[in-house]
Amino acid sequence: MMKKFLFLSIIASIWLAGCNPNEELYDELDEKTSDAYTDQFSYTLTEKDYSTITDLALADATTAEDSNMIGMIEEHHAFADEFGAADYIPQFLGDKYVALDQGSSINVTYNYIGSVETLNTLSQATYYTLTRNDYDSMGEGDGEPGEYDNFAYYMDVESYLIDFLDGKYPDAEEGDLVAVTYDYYDNGVSEITDFYSYEDGTWQAGGLSVSNFYVLNSSDYNSIGGAVANYGNFSDDNPPDKYLPTFLKQKFPYAEQGDEKYVIYKYYMGYVANQAKKYYYDGSNWKPHQEVSNQFIKGDDQWVFDPTVRFTMGSSDYQLIVDERDSKYVNSYGTGEYYSGADSYYSNFSLVISDRVDYDPETFDGLSEAEATDIIWDRIVNMADEPMATRGALFVMLQNKFPNAQPQKNGVDVYYEVSFDTYNNDRSRSVYTVTYQCTASGSPAEFEYVEGNTPYSE
């Protein structure tokens, strides 16, 4: 009888387990814990991902303004200054990679379109090109704009244009922005566009601090051809991204990688209005967004944006140091220097003291091994304030490799973790990692030593 009762109890337990309403929850917990693991890889967001990110963010939006801004992520398939990737990608990663454990990292590539506020300002501005009659109205005598229908280098262009705008827009309101295009003569005639804003009852020059922009004119639309030429605008049927990359490549044949251009064009949406978009040149083509890659890491309970740059020095990195050194320290091949020991051929820092005695006897003659080693490490890791020829090696490398480094990304301090090889005085080999913080942008950027696992100590 006891065996029968035990058997029935087991059957009941199995039946209850099969009907457990929390079974799905337990499966999810198992996925997050039992199968959790650490990984590092790269991922590029797809169009579907931007839609997913938008849906996740909208669920937490508290105001209509937030919702409108978040909606632009899906609309543009990109992030902007006003809706940054650092704010929205972490939640997406947490939802997509539930099994990844603390310490995992993903280098995410995504689209970036700059400042929406600037694009909106450019779209809402009034664009006006001076005509022959406009120049004539400013005076047709000697040394006046109407004489040759342009402004010459000796004229007070700003005063002329402020007076002109007062007459052209007598009902101007606070905050109005006008972009005036005019001809300017200085050893030849060129076309210039300046912004003027209406503030405190008067027109003022410099209403927008944007110089890298281009306003399409009628001849530009004609050069594109087809319906764009016929109507003098773009539309849903003829979107700007279909034509402007080719147009920009032809218009600016000498563009260099990294160039940016704000393009202002007419767009039909039931009515014709100005629109602005920022295009980026990647070295081959103009694109309506910039591809940006940043790292995100898994913390205790969520993903966080981590702008830390981590890399292992390669041959070219060591050569950056060699190229800056005083020639008296450089070997006959031009690939190594004996000030800090950087060598691009061997891709390491040599810590061999006997080489220093040959190249720098004034410093190293008579020193103990410990004293000589301290000086070598100081020259590798420290000495940020020296001239380039004698500056600390890792400072030289960072400032040449990352001349445009910024101290912060999305409000987060930027650090650089540099790993490198050494060939030691006893002929053994080691690998070390040192961390620097970018403290200021400039030409070049500035860095500060933070810490490292080397024998160097401040």
Structure confidence by residue, pLDDT tens digits, 165-174: 999 999 999 9
Q: Write out the two tokens for 171.
A: 């009902």
Which of 15-19, 100-104, 324-328, 421-425 bottoms out in mean pLDDT, i.e. has the lowest? 15-19
H or E segment and range at residue 3? helix 2-18
Confidence of residue 360 (pLDDT cuts 50, 70, 90): confident
Per-residue model confidence (pLDDT) at position 454: 92
Per-residue model confidence (pLDDT) at position 207: 67
- Please report, as a single letter, which amino acid is at residue 451: E
Q: Quick check: 400 and 445 in contact, CB under 8 A?
A: no
pLDDT(25) > 60:
no
Cα distances (angstroms) measured from residue 72 to each of 54, 109, 213, 239:
8, 18, 22, 17
Q: Quick check: 177 and 127 in contact, CB under 8 A?
A: no
DSSP calls for 223-277: HH-HHHHHHTSB-SSS-HHHHHHHHHHHH-TT--TT-EEEEEEEEESSSEEEEEE
Q: Write out the two tokens for 154.
A: 């000796």
Distance CA 456, CA 458 (A): 7
Q: How many beta carbons lie within 10 A of that of residue 130, not counting itself?
A: 21
Per-residue model confidence (pLDDT) at position 36: 61
Q: Write out the two tokens for 442.
A: 């400039």
Mean pLDDT of 345-374: 92
Which of 11-20, 241-250, 268-277 bottoms out in mean pLDDT, i.e. has the lowest? 11-20
Q: DSSP letter for 446, please.
A: E
Question: Pick from 284, 264, 283: which is nearest to 274 by CA?
Answer: 264
Q: List, in order, residues 6 or more apart from 13 with CB less than 8 Å away.
A: none
Per-residue model confidence (pLDDT) at position 34: 42
pLDDT(255) > 70:
yes
Mean pLDDT of 367-371: 93
275-304 tens-digit pLDDT: 999 999 999 999 999 998 888 999 878 899
pLDDT(417) > 90:
yes
Which of 217-231, 379-393, 399-413 bottoms out in mean pLDDT, i.e. has the lowest? 399-413
Tell me the percentage of the chain whose pLDDT exceeds 90.
70
Distance CA 302, CA 102 (A): 8
Per-residue model confidence (pLDDT) at position 300: 79
Per-residue model confidence (pLDDT) at position 169: 96
Q: Quick check: 220 and 127 in contact, CB under 8 A?
A: no
Q: Write out the two tokens for 406.
A: 């910024």
Q: Calculate the average pLDDT of the chain.
A: 88
Structure-model confidence comparison of residues 4 and 438, the more confident one: 438
Per-residue model confidence (pLDDT) at position 422: 97
Phi, psi of 50, rounded to the nearest 5 degrees:
-60, -35
Q: Write out the two tokens for 410.
A: 């999305």
32-67 tens-digit pLDDT: 444 568 898 999 999 999 999 999 999 888 888 889
Per-residue model confidence (pLDDT) at position 28: 41
pLDDT(2) > 90:
no
Question: Pick from 149, 83, 130, 142: which is nearest to 110 by CA?
Answer: 83
Confidence of residue 458 (pLDDT cuts 50, 70, 90): low
Distance CA 325, CA 339 (A): 8
Per-residue model confidence (pLDDT) at position 378: 95
The domain segmentation of the chain, as residue ranges, is: 126-207, 215-288, 309-452
Confidence of residue 11 (pLDDT cuts 50, 70, 90): very low
Per-residue model confidence (pLDDT) at position 409: 84
106-158 tens-digit pLDDT: 999 999 998 999 999 999 999 999 999 999 999 999 999 999 999 999 999 99
Distance CA 192, CA 183 (A): 6
185-215 tens-digit pLDDT: 999 998 888 999 999 999 998 767 777 889 9
H or E segment and range at residue 12? helix 2-18
Mean pLDDT of 398-427: 92
Long-range Cβ pairs for the range 171-178 (8 Å, 24+): 172/198, 172/203, 173/198, 174/198, 174/199, 174/200, 175/199, 176/126, 177/121, 177/124, 177/125, 177/126, 177/207, 177/208, 178/125, 178/126, 178/127, 178/128, 178/203, 178/207
